[in-house]
Amino acid sequence: MIQPIDYLSPDVPLELPWYKLPIVIATPESLKGYGQLVDDYRNFPIEIVTWPAQGWRPIDVDTGNQGGTTAGNFDVWWEGDFLYGRNQAVNDQYLFGWSKNPGEAQKIPQEKLDPSCVLLWHTNYHPDSGQLFFPLNSSPFVVPLALAGDDVKPEDFKAFYFDGTRGLYIHPNIWHEGIFPLTSEASFYDCQGKVHARVSCNIAQEFGLFLSVPLEKLDN
């Protein structure tokens, strides 16, 4: 029986090797297959995927895709060495990762918070719909993405850098794990399928490492 995942207190080792992701500037060319850059987030169409048939009989036309979308703010913030997120569109909260191994991480406020990376323990994709993120305070941000396929590996991921002037639309079935600002906190407009199906990969358990996502500012 599959057990629910505790996204605020994950069962991961206190220390693991880091796999650093390559970072690339998000452009229409670099995002091909993953998604698109977004300018007008209020009117951007979200792909809704029809539920799969269970056998040889097809799903009736105009059914299986009527759940529509849901939208809300997606807030991301650091508490010491811990990076948290709250998705108001689906009423969910997450501990995305840490700026150092969890055994060393502290929530004590720091005078200068300048994390160079976030260590991810988990990634996911949505088979029911695409997902849109748009920065509400023009903060530069980084998003780890990998192409569709359940046999995903750490080396399949890239970290895409956005300068904060445009948003990101992610196609259905594309692996991702939130949006990570280069500031201590940020808010994003989020729109996605209302069904909110999620397929997960516990990177720490499956591969014995954390994905290290660089939080670096790049020149476009």
CB of 135 closer than 8 Å to CB of 143: no
Phi-psi region of 49 (alpha: psi -120 to 50; beta: other; left: phi over 0): beta
C-alpha distances (whole Å) from 92 to each of 69, 85, 144, 159 are 16, 8, 20, 23
The pTM of the full predicted model, rounded to 2 decimals, is 0.95
Q: What is the pLDDT of residue 110?
A: 62
**Residue 121, class by beta-carbon neighbours within 10 Å (0-12 exposed, 13-18 middle, 19+ buried)?**
buried
**Cα angle vertex 111, ends 189, 210, to 5°?**
60
Q: How far is CA 208 from CA 9, 12, 103, 158, 211, in A?
A: 18, 9, 15, 19, 10
CB 154 within 8 A of CB 112: no
The length of the chain is 220
Candidates 160, 124, 125; CA nearest to 141 is 160
pLDDT tens digits in sequence order for the chain, 220 residues long: 567 889 999 999 999 999 999 999 999 999 999 999 999 999 999 999 999 999 999 999 989 999 999 999 999 999 999 999 999 999 999 999 999 999 999 988 766 667 899 999 999 999 999 999 999 999 899 999 999 999 999 999 999 999 999 999 999 999 999 999 999 999 999 999 999 899 999 999 999 999 999 999 888 6
Q: Are 144 and 158 in contact (CB under 8 A)?
A: yes
In whole angstroms, give the CA distance from residue 93 to residue 59. 33
